Amino acid sequence: MKKKRLIPILLLKNGWLVQSKEFCRYQNLGNPVAAVKRLSQWASDELIYLDISKDETYDLRRDDQGYQNRHSFIDIIKDVSTVAFMPITVGGRIRTLKHIKDLLSAGADKVSINSKALADKKFITEAAKEFGSQCVVVSIDVKIVNGEYKVFSNGGLVSTDYTPVEWASIAESYGAGEILLNSIDRDGMKNGYDINLLENVAEKVNIPVIACGGVGAWSHFAEALDKTSVDAVAAANIFHYSDQSVYYAKKYLYEKNYNVRAPDILSVN
């Protein structure tokens, strides 16, 4: 049986790693490469690395700690790929096939597209034909509006007419190989996944669905695996709170007999 994946998400904003809350409040965490090395050592199954910058400014305003300050996202991904010993999905402000090619050449294994896919569904097909559907992850940001789930674009700022089930089905039909499903309402709230949202989407599509948004305890991963048919559980903030966090999360799930890979600590120089 295919193993369920445990996936940390890192958010990059203008050169800094950040924590996010409801897509609007951010706390700087620092170096965009060091965290990747730690997550590799803790044997993450995969990594999702998302650029949430609003412009092209990338500046840590320091060159110490053994890390050279970079001023483009491509250069940051090149640095990240040298310390990442797991598959990396990279996303954020992707608008062209050339941009995808550049990210893959820099070391990404997959790309995550969001607003561009909503603006031009054919872009999903073009990307899938050019690079393979297994490389194309469509990211779906969802917020409850007047009691109904709605898909949002542009970093959660612009509402669309799609429900998440509708948009996930369309994305699949246009060639998406995977769905990253994120609840804006739960982002950074630590109150657990939106289980209803996850299962509504996961049961309607035939491609893998990655759960995201709201994890505040290891038990929230277990709840999603128990109550939904998602293929992977992902989170951002919780993995920054303690040393060896991915190892302990996986250990928690493994010892409770969830279908995940055995926990491990890798030796990474």
Domain boundaries, the chain: 5-255
Q: How many helices (H) and strands (E) does the chain have?
A: 9, 12
Lookup: tokens for 18:
């950040």
What is residue 29's predicted lDDT score, i.e. its pLDDT? 66
CA-to-CA separations, 153 to 141, 161, 164, 187, 245, in angstroms, rounded: 7, 11, 12, 15, 31
The CATH class, in words, for 5-255 is alpha beta
Collapsing DSSP to helix, strand or coil, 236 comes out as coil
State which amino acid sits at residue 72: S
Q: Name the DSSP class of 264.
A: -
pLDDT in tens, 116-141: 999 999 999 999 999 999 999 999 99
- End-to-end Cα separation, the chain, in angstroms: 32
Count Cβ atoms below 10 Å from residue 229 Cβ, excluding itself: 14
Phi, psi of 251 (to 5 degrees): -60, -45
> pTM of the prediction?
0.93
pLDDT in tens, the chain (269 residues): 899 999 999 998 887 788 777 665 566 766 778 889 999 999 999 999 999 888 877 766 555 455 566 768 899 899 999 999 999 999 999 999 999 999 999 999 999 999 999 999 999 999 999 999 999 999 999 999 999 999 999 999 999 999 999 999 999 999 999 999 999 999 989 999 999 999 999 999 999 999 999 999 999 999 999 999 999 999 988 998 788 999 999 999 999 999 999 999 875 44
